[in-house]
Amino acid sequence: MRISVFGIGYVGIANAVLLSQHNSVVAFDISPTRVDMLNQRLSPIKDAEIERFLREEKLDLGAVSDKSLVYDDPDFIVIATPTDYDEDRKFFNTESIETVIADTASFSPDSPVIIKSTVPIGFTERMRKKYPGLSIMFSPEFLREGQALYDNLYPSRIIIGDSCTGTEAAKSFAGLMLQGAKKKDTPVLFMPPTEAEAVKLFANTYLALRVAYFNELDTFAEIRGLNAKPVIEGVCLDPRIGAYYNNPSFGYGGYCLPKDTKQIQANYTDVPNDIINAIVASNNTRKSHIANMILSKRPKNVGIYKLAMKTDSDNARSSAMLDIIRQLKTEGISIIIFDPALKEKTLCDYPVLQDFEAFQKQADLIIANRITEELKPFVDKVYTRDIFSNN
């Protein structure tokens, strides 16, 4: 089959690579850099499995920045464009998705549309009413940063939001996802698109809840002088709780959790709740606590070790580190930043260093969300809440 994928972010490229194992895939992106990298079989995001597949596997995959080249009557159009949260409107910005759907209605109306981008609850039905001649479905992704292709190869579930029983187009696309996956016994669920949209947002909000919960446990342990590690281990041996997503951090960040929790919070405006609002508030409280703990050590020169919240990611979007830096700045703290992924020479008016040796010599206190091998020789001057050395 011929498939067009819009967006070469981590969701788009993970789907493009997966599907191009057995289908002809053309990926579109407005960034010429991303397009050029993909055509050279280089990954524009940090993901070991994507990098390996592009390097070693036989893929029928190309990338373009000309929209006219992706509307040649493809069998499916997959939309994986970014939907950043608009703080003023309290809503995801869905303009890029709406543009692709409008173009599809004009240039390729017989091609079923699969929305992979995260959208507000009710968005797909709204698009269906606006474009009644199009087949529009929503299929949520459950991908981790740095492991996006792996999670597509070994999916926890495949959900197609189309109808309760699944149309032929929905079943066909689910089959394509299973065809590319290595895990063949994956549960496939068909449901209306509004319910599928809710699955995505509630799943990510629950993960944010776990992060917030174990961070608050860790805050209690730090202030009361407890060792958080055996407490967490003892709690998580209960099979109803499980030993996953339990490593304390400076707060959740990244592509999904910050914006998805805010979107579900906005959807709850006229719905009674306590927990949903508390998740977002708890994350802000955690970042303030971390900043206060840093200040309590009275450092002369604070070194910020990388902005990305995960060791296998280069994504610093909505990083908790950024909020911590801003809070420290209000206190007039001297700060230097080490992050090879940053091309800027300054961030928040603070110098960005590319030389780790120079960085560690200048910093009398190093702040690291996650401990790496590079940091271990200097652990005596590292402040972190990383207990289990995982993401």
Average pLDDT over residues 165-191: 94
Average pLDDT over residues 340-358: 91
Paired with 113 in beta bridges are: 77, 136
Which amino acid, 379? V
- Whole-number percent of the chain with pLDDT over 90: 81
Comparing 95-104, 159-168, 248-257, 287-296, which segment has the lowest mean pLDDT? 248-257
The pLDDT value given to residue 262: 87
Give the count of beta carbons closer than 10 Å to the beta carbon of residue 52.
13
Confidence of residue 312 (pLDDT cuts 50, 70, 90): low
**pLDDT over threshold 90, residue 158:** yes
The pLDDT value given to residue 310: 67
Average pLDDT over residues 115-136: 96
The residues assigned a catalytic role are: 256
Strand 91-92 with 85-86, pairing? antiparallel
**pLDDT over threshold 70, residue 140:** yes
| Coil/strand/helix, residue 335 | strand
Rounded (5°) CA angle 355-361-364: 125
DSSP for 69-107, written as a single string: GS-S--SEEEE-----EETTTTEE--HHHHHHHHHHHHH
| Residues contacting 170, CB < 8 A, separation 6+ | 137, 160, 162, 163, 190
- Whole-number percent of the chain with pLDDT over 70: 97
Question: In this predicted model, what pLDDT tens digit does every residue of 366-381 receive, in sequence order?
Answer: 999 999 999 999 999 9
More confident residue, 218 or 143: 218
User: How far is residue 102's CA from residue 122's CA, in Å, rounded to a whole number?
Assistant: 18
**Alpha-carbon dihedral angle through residues 264, 270, 276, 281, given to the nearest 10 degrees:** 100
| Coil/strand/helix, residue 253 | coil
Average pLDDT over residues 325-336: 93
Comparing 92-101, 259-268, 299-308, which segment has the lowest mean pLDDT? 259-268
Question: In this predicted model, what pLDDT tens digit does every residue of 285-310 receive, in sequence order?
Answer: 999 999 999 999 999 999 999 998 66
The pLDDT value given to residue 313: 61
The pLDDT value given to residue 236: 97
The pLDDT value given to residue 311: 63
Domains of the chain: 2-191 (3.40.50.720), 200-383 (3.40.50.720)
Contacts of the segment 268-271: beta carbons below 8 A, 24+ positions apart: 269/90
